[in-house]
Amino acid sequence: DAGVIQSPRHEVTEMGQEVTLRCKPISGHDYLFWYRQTMMRGLELLIYFNNNVPIDDSGMPEDRFSAKMPNASFSTLKIQPSEPRDSAVYFCASSPRDRGLAGVGTGELFFGEGSRLTVL
Amino acid sequence: DAKTTQPNSMESNEEEPVHLPCNHSTISGTDYIHWYRQLPSQGPEYVIHGLTSNVNNRMASLAIAEDRKSSTLILHRATLRDAAVYYCILREQYSKTSYDKVIFGPGTSLSVIP
């Protein structure tokens, strides 16, 4: 398997522009997570999906951020309009259901290589 | 949410064992202890997890205290490639219809000295 694939790897944009980050999870994984990482705040969970349905978006910082998962093999994280403080590395991760206790998700997370966003 | 406490940084000499501690005094009976690490310029990667018993895999060993209020990730022979940030995480289990948030703390930054 190719692993979790994120694009673009690097994005430089100007304040006010729309940014779309993309993620292809590992085939067969039921869960998809979006994280943001900065030096100041570390790794923050933004939102996660189960079977394409958003389960918890309480980590999404503002209404400027939105995430979708139209099918099991694709998700997007959109920032509109972007601001300099959105500069960060954005990680997507996917996870299978736990192979132990049925119905409880404690499977390991597989992360992509991240998308480094710079907003000028 | 149950929380973990780790030292901010540690150093180790190459080819020596490394013991990375994690305190989780408020752990509940069904919390799993997971460890991830993040190499420079990469996403985090899973290392190991356990519930009560000590665990071994090809990457590391996990020693869990009898009262489960602390655990230690053991790298048996540190290499330069093991220089990374190591995260200790508790995975809470709710119900069959729910999924725990996977929350990362600041972790321990491990430096390996040649």
Residue range A33-50, pLDDT digits in tens: 999 999 999 999 999 998
A100 touches chain B (CB under 8 A): no
State the pLDDT at residue B113: 96
**Distance in Å, alpha carbon of B17 to nearest chain A alpha carbon:** 25
Confidence of residue A1 (pLDDT cuts 50, 70, 90): low
- Say if CB A45 and CB A29 are below 8 A apart: no
Instruction: Give the number of beta-carbon pairs within 8 Å between A and B.
Output: 58
* Residue B61 scores a pLDDT above 50: yes
What is the Cα–Cα distance from B103 to A35, expressed in whole angstroms? Answer: 10
Express as a percent the part of chain B with pLDDT over 90: 70
Whether the CA torsion A110, B9, A42, B81 is positive or negative: it is negative
- Say if CB B37 and CB B94 are below 8 A apart: no
What is the Cα–Cα distance from A61 to A69, expressed in whole angstroms? Answer: 18
Mean pLDDT estimate for chain B: 90
Say which residues have a Cβ less than 8 Å from residue B23's Cβ, sequence separation at least 6: B4, B5, B6, B69, B70
Judged by CB atoms closer than 8 Å, whether chains meet at B43 and A45 is answered as no
- Say if CB A22 and CB A7 are below 8 A apart: yes
Judged by CB atoms closer than 8 Å, whether chains meet at B43 and A104 is answered as no
pLDDT digits (tens, 9 = 90+) for A52-93: 999 889 999 889 999 999 999 999 999 999 999 999 999 999
State the pLDDT at residue B95: 46
* Residue B35 scores a pLDDT above 50: yes
Judged by CB atoms closer than 8 Å, whether chains meet at A42 and B106 is answered as yes
State the pLDDT at residue B98: 52
Judged by CB atoms closer than 8 Å, whether chains meet at B99 and A48 is answered as yes
Which of A111-115, B55-59, B91-95 has the largest mean confidence?
A111-115
Lowest mean pLDDT among A116-120, B55-59, B62-66: B55-59
Strand order in the sheet with A65-71: A5-7, A19-24, A74-79, A65-71
Strands (E), A1-120: 5-7, 10-13, 19-24, 31-38, 42-50, 53-56, 65-71, 74-79, 88-95, 110-111, 115-119
The nearest alpha carbon in chain A to B106 belongs to: A42
* Residue B78 scores a pLDDT above 70: yes
| Chain A neighbors of B50, CB-CB under 8 A | none
Neighbours of B14 (CB within 10 A): 13
State the pLDDT at residue A2: 81
State the pLDDT at residue A104: 44
Say which residues have a Cβ less than 8 Å from residue A26's Cβ, sequence separation at least 6: A1, A3, A4, A94, A96, A110
Chain B residues touching chain A at CB-CB below 8 Å: 32, 34, 36, 42-46, 49, 87, 91, 93-97, 99-107
What is the Cα–Cα distance from B45 to B12, expressed in whole angstroms? Answer: 21
Asked whether the bond before A8 is cis by omega within 30 degrees of 0, the reply is: yes
At B37 the three-state DSSP class reads strand
Task: Calculate mean pLDDT across residues B97-101.
Answer: 59
Confidence of residue B1 (pLDDT cuts 50, 70, 90): low
What is the Cα–Cα distance from B39 to B82, expressed in whole angstroms? Answer: 8
State the pLDDT at residue A107: 74
Confidence of residue B91 (pLDDT cuts 50, 70, 90): confident
